[in-house]
Structure 1
Amino acid sequence: MFTKLTRPLFLMMLPVLIITCTFLLIPMFRLVVISISGEDGLMIYWHALSDARYLQSLLDTLFLSVLVTLVTLAIAVISGLFLSRNHFPGKSVLISLLTFPLAFPGVVVGFLVIMLGGRQGLSAELGLFLDDTRWTFAYSIVGLFVGYIYFSIPRVLLTVIAAVEKMDMMLEEAARSLGASRLRVFIDVIIPALKPALIASGAICFATSMGAFGTAFALASGINVMPMTIYTEFTLGANIAMAASLSIILGLITWLVLLLARSVSGANTSPAA
């Protein structure tokens, strides 16, 4: 069945195929089967997208993920440019601190947000000191936004720093010699050079925000993002079919964004570009 040339290639691909089937294809197939095993059948996907509660949860999750991605990219570009092109005492320590959130699980990040904006947090103490009211934001979409930004920045920042270090400085010098302002150099030279890295890291940031559960679970009061909705349907409502269908929808949207980002990023890094 296999020629001498294809047999080694198949043997090298075999571990990847086994892992893909075991941890991706089989579980996804099982989710699809569970989702349509109820009395609604395939119509459960229509119910998931037409029911106001589920639809609002999906829209809130999409809005939050897009906003987190855009803000994270803006912060990472500014910070990455500065850290890549400036040398100062303690630079390595600062980068280590900025990437430190990678070591924290989502629940710990949620706890840190509570310590900052909870009822006994720093913002509450500041509010009591200034106008005798507690300023709290931890148990809302704002608190979740802060938590997502906190653990998203390291993922994008490291990619941006690596991309900036590979940039050709001659292009910026040529633009300045032709009279381009700093803003024009940033828009016309730096951003296009960083575009593949920004698209790739932004897609990862978006995907992480779409599926993040630990932080949302720690800040569960008044938050209705999709991971929490799936958890509620599965545990409290015992609506396993709906939980499975919502999981498929969430995974499909995230996969499409990652696929699109890979296609666009690949196009930007082609030799013709």
Structure 2
Amino acid sequence: MSPGTRERWLRSACLAPAMAVFGAFWLLPMAWLAVLPAQQGWATYAAVLTQPRYLSSLLQTTALSLAVTAATLLVGSLVGLFLGRTRFPGRALLLSLLTLPMSFPGVVVGFFVIMAGGRQGAFALLSQWLGWSRWSFAYGLTGLFLAYLYFSLPRTIGQFAAASQALDGGLEDAARMLGARPWQVARDVWLPALTPTAVACGAIVFATAMGAFGTAFTLSSRFEVLPISIYNEFTNYANFPLAASLSLALGLMTWLVLFACRQPGDKAALA
């Protein structure tokens, strides 16, 4: 056997376990998910568009995820830039505390929001003590937004802090020597350098918010998102074809939005 043949056999042997795992745990389930709705007829594939309840759930989920992504990028970039470019006592401890929520599952994050804004939470007790009615915001859009934001910020802050430390200080000094104002330095130096980080963080935050289940399961009694609709069809009603159709719609919407949002970032990177 020639050396080239042995090398090809070795590569095939190394690749075979990965391909087996890929086929068994991704390709086969995805193929079954794609054909399952046909058991109830081809119209099942369009259920998310033809049934107002599921269309509303999909649009609400997408709008919430976009809002969370925008807020996370805004807050996370500002905090990350400050922490990445500023040295002060306790900075390392503060960074570690900010990343602590990454260790919590979605259910625990939802529980935190309930303790703050639930019917027996801190805000409800405070509003009652002030003589008003109990104020509760945990079980609807506001609660979900805050929970998703709380869950997503640590990753974004850490990424922007690391990216800001890698900024080329020489470019900033040159821009200032040429008379650039602070906002011009931010536009011409910071923004191009941080765009790839923003695109990557935004993609992760959006995809996570679209598919979040634990937090939504805890807080979405007044605001239905598509993962909860899928859970209900799959678990409570055993309607597997419709659950598969909604899953495909969720995945397709997530991919389309990520693809559309990534185009400006790719063009900026090429420029």
TM-score, length-normalised on structure 2? 0.91
Which residue in the other structure is 2:101 paired with?
A: 101
Question: Which string of whole-angstrom CA distances, capped at 9 and with x for unpartnered residues, describes residues 21-67 of structure 1?
Answer: 222111111112222112xx221122221211111100000000000
Q: CA deviation at 1:110?
A: 0.5
Conserved? CA contact 1:200–1:265, under 8 Å: no
Alpha-carbon shift at residue 103 of structure 1 (Å): 0.5
Q: Alpha carbons of 1:15 and 1:202: their partners in 2 closer, same or farther (altered >3 Å)?
A: farther
Aligned match of 1:220: 220
Q: Which moved more, 1:149-158 or 1:138-147?
A: 149-158
Alignment partner, residue 89 of structure 1: 89
Deviation digits for residues 130-151 of structure 1, max 9, x if unmatched? 2421111000011000000011
The count of residues paired between Structure 1 and Structure 2 equals 268
- 1:141 aligned partner: 141
CA contact (8 A) 1:58 1:225 kept: yes
Gaps of 5+ in 2: none
Q: Which residue of 2 aligns with 1:29?
A: 31
Identify the structure with the greater helix proportion. 2
Q: How does 1:1-273 map to 2 (within 5 A)?
A: 3-38=5-40, 41-258=41-258, 269=269, 273=271
State the TM-score, normalizing by the size of structure 1: 0.91
Percent identical residues: 49
Cα deviations by residue, 1:49-87 (Å, 9 ceiling, x for unpaired): 121111110000000000000100011110111111111
SS for the counterpart of 2:143 is helix
Measured after TM superposition, the shift of residue 182 of structure 1 is 1.3
Superposed displacement of residue 7, structure 1:
3.3
2:36–2:241 CA contact under 8 A, matched in 1: yes
**Gap regions ≥5 residues in structure 1:** none
SS in 1 for 2:14: helix
Change in 2 beyond 3 A, CA 1:262/1:16: farther
Q: Look up the equivalent residue of 1:136 and give its one-letter code.
A: S
Question: Are the structure 2 counterparts of residues 204 and 42 from structure 1 closer, same or farther at C-alpha, using a change threshold of 3 Å?
Answer: same
CA contact (8 A) 2:234 2:243 kept: yes
Letter in structure 2 aligned against 1:9? R
